[in-house]
Structure 1
Amino acid sequence: MRPELLSHAAAEALAAVPLSTDLRSVDGAVPPGHRRLVTSRLLTRRDFDAAADALLCWGMHAGAGLGVAASSIPVESGAVVQLTVGRAVTPGLTVACRVIDVFDEGWCRGFTYATLAGHLESGIQRFMVSSDVHGRIRASVVSVSAPAHGAMRWAGPLSVWAQRFAASRYCASLDT
């Protein structure tokens, strides 16, 4: 699946939806009721710029099998994105997020988004690729979140497994 641009009307409607969290960073103490999940994968690919471009053009999400409709491609601070799971089988489950940070430190590039009201989870997620002095490239996903929907609270360990599975697929999707 390829990322698509949201229509102007859809982007404006999502821009009006409030964030479901006050969190702004995955660093620091984890608030009560939240959990931090860290997933990282050393990639076999050696082209850092291509990996970073794929990440910043929503390729990590689309490559993991999600439907992606974003207000900007590549990612920009303030952009909104609708992510759809299961679109091939059913109408799918759609959730939305807003990009709150985009960073480029030369050797490390990525972005952070926060969930919007109505998302199953309340929190933030940082996606990044980094390169070390030996040219090894690592894809990483770090999240701090809490269940926002009753079904997610009830699911307990299953929701944690689902988040770990999704993060693992995100990282693997950049190894092409």
Structure 2
Amino acid sequence: MSSLARGGVVAELTYPEVGRTRHGPLPGGYHHLRHRSALPAGCFDAAAEAVLSWRLHRAAGVRMRTAAARATEGVRVSAGLGLGPARIWGPCQVIWSEESPTLAGFGYGTLPGHPERGEEAFVVGREDDGTAWFEVRAFSLPDRWFARAGGPAVRAVQHTYAWWLGRTLRRLCASR
């Protein structure tokens, strides 16, 4: 397990390969996810803001419990998927964030109580020709009994979720 200190707070992450969604390669021994979506021309700034402000996740129907307005290193967040009492919460901590003219996004790592262990990143990029893209990249393994019991269905949900985020971000960009 790995610790991340920020502002005097130390959180125990549930995996040792901290930061590998940023600088890769994704570590072996995990399930890997990479999903890239093209974005409408000229939407990099709006897409970057949607990702860094949690707007993307909320627009996709994910409950986000966090006291921070933006995803910055050290921020704790708990993402809730599902409905009512069937909602599953996944506590995480932002371990890296970036905001530049050509790349914006963040990666968060799992904390104790998360159904999986690993890291997930949400990144928007702008190429030299102005085209923009959104990518979800992750590595994870089941950490709770119900995630293990779900087997391949859990991975299918993760891939569908990444696709849904890309679709939601394209919709957000088109409505700006």
Q: TM-score range by the shorter chain?
A: 0.7 to 0.9
In structure 2, the residue matched to 1:101 is 96
| Matches of 1:16 and 1:93, distance apart in 2 | 24
| Matches of 1:153 and 1:92, distance apart in 2 | 17
- Offset of residue 17 of structure 1: 5.1
Matched, 1:19 2:16: no
Q: Which runs of 5+ in 2 are unaligned?
A: 1-8
Matched, 1:62 2:58: yes
| Matches of 2:102 and 2:14, distance apart in 1 | 31
Partner residue of 1:51 out of 42, 47, 51:
47
Aligned pairs for 1:33-48 (under 5 A) are: 34-44=30-40, 46-48=42-44
- Offset of residue 110 of structure 1: 0.6
Aligned residues: 160
- Runs of 4 or more, structure 1, over 6 Å off, are none
Identical columns (%): 26
- Offset of residue 30 of structure 1: 2.2
Matched, 1:28 2:25: yes
Secondary structure of the structure 1 residue equivalent to 2:13: coil
- Offset of residue 85 of structure 1: 1.4
Change (3 A) 1:37 1:51: same
Change (3 A) 1:91 1:16: farther
In structure 2, the residue matched to 1:6 is none
* TM norm structure 2: 0.84
Asked if 2 retains the 8 angstrom alpha-carbon contact of 1:60 and 1:171, the reply is no
Q: Which runs of 5+ in 1 are unaligned?
A: 1-14
| Matches of 1:59 and 1:68, distance apart in 2 | 9
CA RMSD of aligned residues (A): 1.7
Aligned pairs for 1:83-102 (under 5 A) are: 83-87=79-83, 89-90=84-85, 92-102=87-97
